[in-house]
Amino acid sequence: MPHPGRGWRPQGHPATRPHEYIRGGTCKILTLFHPATGRVHLRPVVSCTNPVLHGWLKQTLAAIVAALPVRAEPADPAAARAAWGIWQEGLTERFTLPEPLPPLRLLLVWDNLAGHKSAEMVLWLCRHGIMPLYTPLGGSWLNMAEAIQRILKRRTLDGQHPQSPTEVGAWFEQTARAWNRQPTPFLWNGKRSQRRRKRPGERHPIGGAAAHTWQPLPAHRSGRQEWQIPGQVTH
């Protein structure tokens, strides 16, 4: 009887592996993940400098914001600033909110690198209604994008032998498109959430981040607005 597995091979033709490891280069995967819907955006690159990451992020986030529903009436400036200020309460490090402020549209969770706190990038985010939130040092497990990267990496590379970084990147893009056809939403599963749960074992944990899903994720598949990027983009 057919059953789930890590791969399928014709009978009598087992999977083989090369006898030596040859490093053919590095492929870096830029990842932007929306936990509430499970949709993921990614781009393979050979270099992950700030101009490369920020340029791709601006292009992708601008398209996401443009696709959001348009408000029927302009928001009150005081109410808009209050909505932004709520997300700065309790932070040990705050940045000065610029004037004027548009309505808050998205929350962007990413790591604490100095380049991500540059004035140019923060001002661009604020102008587009995006509030940046930074994970604490050593707290990449708080970012659910780490979990989706591990899932996509396993589905892309387990049992495979890519020949070049270009091939790795193309496989990641194919895997992401397949995932987005039937994405799985992620939910927060931190310690506070666990304390509030009445029954243990009612949700399914995901490796690599403090997240869970209502449905278990199979090893392979057959053929509200919060976005997160991973603390490490060098998978």
CA distance 182 to 131: 28
pLDDT on residue 216: 66
Residue carrying the six token digits 């449905």? 215
pLDDT class of 21 with cuts at 50, 70, 90: confident
- Give which of 138, 160, 133, 178 is closest to 42, Cα–Cα: 178
- pLDDT grade for 232, boundaries at 50, 70 and 90: very low
Residue at 103: amino acid letter: P
206 or 60: which carries more pLDDT confidence?
A: 60
Report which of residues 24 and 234 the model is more confident about.
24
Asked whether 190 and 205 are in contact (CB, 8 A), the reply is no
Identify the helix (H) or strand (E) that includes residue 85: helix 77-86
Instruction: Report residue 188's pLDDT band, with 50, 70 and 90 as the boundaries.
Output: confident
* pLDDT for res 200: 55
Q: Reply yes or no on whether the pLDDT at 230 is more than 70.
A: no
pLDDT value of position 214: 63
pTM equals 0.73
Residue 14 pLDDT:
79
Identify the band that residue 186 occupies on the pLDDT scale cut at 50, 70 and 90: confident
pLDDT band at 201 (very low <50, low <70, confident <90, very high): low
Dihedral-angle region of residue 138 (phi above 0 means left; psi in -120 to 50 means alpha; beta otherwise): left
Backbone angles phi, psi at 157, to 5 degrees: -110, -15
The CATH T-level fold of domain 25-65+78-185+221-235 is: Nucleotidyltransferase; domain 5 (3.30.420)
Give me the pLDDT at residue 192, please: 55
Query: Higher-confidence residue: 18 or 202?
Result: 18
Q: What is the pLDDT of residues 26-57, one digit of tens each?
A: 999 999 999 989 999 999 999 889 999 999 99
Residue with the larger pLDDT of the pair 146 and 226: 146
pLDDT tens profile 125-173: 999 999 999 888 777 777 888 888 988 998 888 878 888 999 999 999 9
Report whether 29 contacts 235 (CB < 8 A): yes
Q: Find the mean pLDDT for residues 107-114.
A: 87
SS3 label, residue 101: coil
Q: What is the pLDDT of residue 234?
A: 38
Is the pLDDT at 227 greater than 80? The verdict is: no
Whether a cis peptide bond, with omega within 30° of 0, leads into 98 is no
Rounding to the nearest 10 degrees, give the CA dihedral for residues 33, 39, 45, 47. 0
Are 177 and 190 spatial neighbours (Cβ–Cβ below 8 Å)?
no
121 C-beta neighbours (distance < 10 Å), count = 17
Q: What is the pLDDT of residue 233?
A: 42
Task: Indicate the domain borders of the chain.
Answer: 25-65+78-185+221-235
Q: Between residues 194 and 118, which one has the greater pLDDT?
A: 118
